[in-house]
Amino acid sequence: MSMYIREHDLLKNEIKDMLIADLALSFAFAVIFAGGIGSSITLLIYFFPMSLIAVSFSFILHEYMHKKAAQKYGAIAAFKKSDLGVLITLVSSLFGFLLGIPGATVIYTSTFTRKEEGIVSLAGPLTNFAVFAVFFLIGFAIFGNAFIPHLLVTFGRGILTLSYLQNVINTTLLISIILAFFNMLPIYPLDGSKVFRWNKLVYAATVLAIFMILLFIFPVTYLLFSFIFMLIIALFFSIFSSSVRLF
């Protein structure tokens, strides 16, 4: 297969694949926020728009920056959804947890150095940092001292007492930093495994920054539980990605 044909095949369905993955992941988050299987239609309608905004900024920009960074180094790159991954994403949300694997940026190259691979991988989580910072500043600018970054509390009983705009901002903060944290786990094929292989100091600094943000948001006990849960998901994702071809 020529490079031109491969690039054409990748790009022709990229926008459709990205929209499907975006909608699936947004709906899955909305189902979780609404309480999983048996959620009321009213709550789903309430949560879906804010999930869509949060996922569009956090997930799409994450994948897009992988693509742009890869293209900078001369690689062919495009997003490709996984039909099985979309199904797993939707079904898992019904049970109150998320295996969010609707697809990934597919990169074709034979010339990446370890450093280039690490930089391309780091581009996604760094984008999530940027999204978090921008939305945090927006929230503080609008709500001042009334801004509530403690998302665990916000997504408990207090969520419906906040304005819809504040909930949109909090949702985006939550999803962006969770995506950064999950993707930086050092398990192949997650971004963290490639950043760790390239530069352990850069990896440690990035993970430390993420962890400090998470400590600002969540209690330590919740973080420990979430870390173990995400490790399990990451291991599942590793097995899934080695047995299922995205392209």
Number of domains in the chain: 1
The per-residue pLDDT of the chain, averaged, comes to 83
The answer, yes or no, to whether residue 212 has pLDDT greater than 80, is yes
Q: What is the mean pLDDT of residues 209-237?
A: 73
User: What is the Cα–Cα distance from 124 to 150, expressed in whole angstroms?
Assistant: 24
* Size of the chain in residues: 247
pLDDT of residue 138: 93
**The tokens of 181 are what?**
């944290």
**137: containing domain:** 3-243
**The tokens of 59 are what?**
């997930």
User: What is the Cα–Cα distance from 59 to 125, expressed in whole angstroms?
Assistant: 10
User: What is the Cα–Cα distance from 176 to 140, expressed in whole angstroms?
Assistant: 17
Cβ-Cβ contacts under 8 Å for 40 (sequence gap 6 or more): 34
The pLDDT-based confidence of 166 (bands split at 50, 70, 90) is confident
pLDDT of residue 182: 87
Most confident of 76-80, 90-94, 118-122, 243-247: 118-122
Cβ-Cβ contacts under 8 Å for 118 (sequence gap 6 or more): 194, 195, 197, 198, 199, 202
Burial class (CB in 10 A: 0-12, 13-18, 19+), 15: exposed
User: What is the Cα–Cα distance from 128 to 84, expressed in whole angstroms?
Assistant: 25
Q: What is the mean pLDDT of residues 109-135?
A: 93
